[in-house]
Structure 1
Amino acid sequence: MRETGTPTASPTRAPAPAAASRARAQDEAPEAAVRQLPDAAGLVALQRSAGNAAVTRWVQRQEKPGAREAAQRNAADPTGHGEWGTFCQMMAEAGFPNSVTDAAWQLILGGIAEQGPLNDEAMAKFSERQEQRDHRASNSWYQELVRFIGDYLEIDRPTMALWSGGIDTSVYARSKGHTPLESTPFGGVVDKLSLTEEWKFKTPMWNVLSKAFVNRARGPVHIFLRAYNPDSVLIAQEVPQLRVVMALNPDVKLVWHPVYTAADGKLMEVTKGLDLTTDASYASRDECVQVLYDYLRLKHDPTNTKSERAHAEMSARLKANGNPQ
């Protein structure tokens, strides 16, 4: 590894998906699943893509108590991770060149290794929930990952989708012709991986990716709400960031959909008359939440286990706010 004071070039931006497909065709796709990174520790390849700052931060983190042993081991030996071959295969199928695959994998594992201490610092230094979330999301590896693969967060369908209330809501949004983060080229790959058993180590990565995702909104953004939580990433982070984008681009508008899961598991949308239909949209969050809450409060079937959690969360929130049940 070079001296940490040695200047390095700025990170190379990932090519657009179409360009990646052409570049990948010239690469050695059959060997992708068994390929090794250029350096046993992965740091030389990382330094070329991410720069000295990220590498220095990684080295410093190793000396701090609280860094998790398994995460350190995977960051130092990325090809030893059990999902390395799967990641390579999926990235190849999605049209990524080998160079992007190598660097993205090292950045992901480096971020997981750094996240434990960052989480501890967030709890020790901050009392406000959003401050804690912001500190956890300051992970330099995840930030660099977004800069590196940003073009692969572009949507492949006309309209962007955000959601809250379980992964089924994301699947539903996709079925309606919209594109959630999990359906972008890179998001689709990462969504299929476990990466680590410690979900608190990878959740900040998704928060960083989601912020970069909403920054790419160019038109209407459809928001599907099966459960309302003001502290969720959707409400506390994604929507506020979208409003920043809206101030710069009048073509970006928010379209809200209250979603209820029927007893047969089918997701439906709620009309103002509290009927279920295939499409009911609202221009404001407050109107959407009111319709959703009214349906859960007045028309939810207690025997419907598919919406039991949404009903319970709604009831608890109303009770906490001093509202009648």
Structure 2
Amino acid sequence: MKNFLNLLIAVSLIHLTAKAQEVPSKAENIDYIVTFGKDAPGTWGDDDHSQVFFFTIPESIGEPFYIRVFDPDCGGKHDQINKEFNTKTTYTLYGGKEVFTNKDAINVDPIGNYKSGIQLASKSFGIDSEWDDKWYTFGPINPNEGEYVENLKSRVFKLIAEGESGDDGNMYRYFLSRSASTNVPILGANAFTYEYCFRLKEEVGSQAYFYPFVDKNTVKLVQHNFDFDNDGAIKIYSRVKNGHLSTYSNDGNWSKGMHVIENEEKGKSMNVRLIKRASFKNDMTLYITNEYNIPVPLFASPIGGVPKYIYKVNIDYNVK
């Protein structure tokens, strides 16, 4: 329980500097979240066909809000086809007691009571030209329907996307908005996940960025990645790490790299950077844990800004 509470404290810093209302954000440099149908093989990059995101609404917000989904169907120009489109994706919104604080909700696997809370809305999409390349909107949503978390000073909601059937890849995005028809940011709101399945950009040399926050009690961070397809390099950046190499996976397998945390890195964000070397389409999964194997939240706006390496110059003056 102590480790769980420490995690909540770390997450509580997110709302203080939240700038990213879109998921994925420009700071992450990722085009789409991806969720594959349950019949898709793991070698396509999605290990469990389920994606969970949490949305935090500051307690000062009293008016209704909206969660918008871009291109929610699976069958258009952005999606990954496998022979023919046959995939159904269901998006389900949860609020209420234990939507976030239930121990199964803070997990990288869709097991146990990870659907904790009260179901507020649900919508399924197959091949639907009405929503291809367009926005679908959940809401209006009453902020009071979320779970109030004292350490976050916010009410928390959970949105789960599941590949109910089929074997194609559904590419989509989210936006947390004050408007039902356009994307209008909510001051201080944020979104984060514990396990991220996404599509890398296709350009050779392009980079994707992830920003785990290191609390003061963390000793180690462990980077876990699945199905990177040997597609480049994974490097760790911080105030004291300038591109430390981490391990990466091949086709259809997991890999992990452990990194010891220095005192200068505590209470700050780190940058896990994926550098692409080939031009093929690549979908993969990533998550971060601490030394207790507790997942660390991945969010779009790094707390305190993008970490910058502090160069140290040692000059030895030999005066005679």
Instruction: Give the number of the structure with larger relative contact order, counting CA–CA contacts within 8 Å between residues 6 or more apart.
Output: 2
For the aligned pair, the TM-score class normalised by the smaller chain equals under 0.3
Choose between structure 1 and 2: higher strand proportion: 2
Higher helix share: 1
Structure whose alpha-carbon radius of gyration is higher: 1
TM-score, normalised via structure 1 length? 0.25
